[in-house]
Structure 1
Amino acid sequence: MKALAMIYTSMIDNFLKARTLRNLNKLSETQLDDIGVSRELLAQGIHAFPWRIQNTGLQQATAPAVLAQFKQAAANDAHQWSRAA
């Protein structure tokens, strides 16, 4: 039973990473730079998670517009899933 729970958790984790990857790929280079995400790591897929640019010692602020886009994309995905059910 414990193994089944671990498999289920892994599947959900991979699903969420894939959805986040799709949403991140929709962003522009400037938006990705603002949040510190590397386009090259995104191209490697979910195995390269967390897709962060290596720490350069500089702190980059997260743009509110980018956060709003993530929230909107997540809301759209949730709406589509609820309609499909």
Structure 2
Amino acid sequence: MAARIYQIQKNALQSGKARTDKWVLEFAPSEAKKPDPLTGWAGSGDTQSQVKLTFPSQDAARAYADKYGICYSVIATPPKTLKIQAYADNFR
């Protein structure tokens, strides 16, 4: 049972930074999804892929994974880059 720990990123349509300080522990899928013959919806028997646990810090998420013997990998948060541009640059 493998998991990944990452920090929630800001949505492209989101202007504020609310709820971006949370860390998530998400289990990796253990089997591939396959289409249901009747409805065509994708599904699998893997119930762990539905579980997302949130933590206030990366250390808390790591401590939880260590306590329950979950193999995990931490995905680093990419650095935020701002493109500074003046309004007059739109008319060049």
Give the alignment's TM-score, normalised by structure 1.
0.25
Give the alignment's TM-score, normalised by structure 2.
0.24
Bigger strand fraction = 2
Query: Which of structures 1 and 2 has the larger relative contact order (alpha carbons within 8 angstroms, sep 6+)?
Result: 2
Bigger helix fraction = 1
Task: Answer with 1 or 2: which has the greater Rg.
Answer: 2
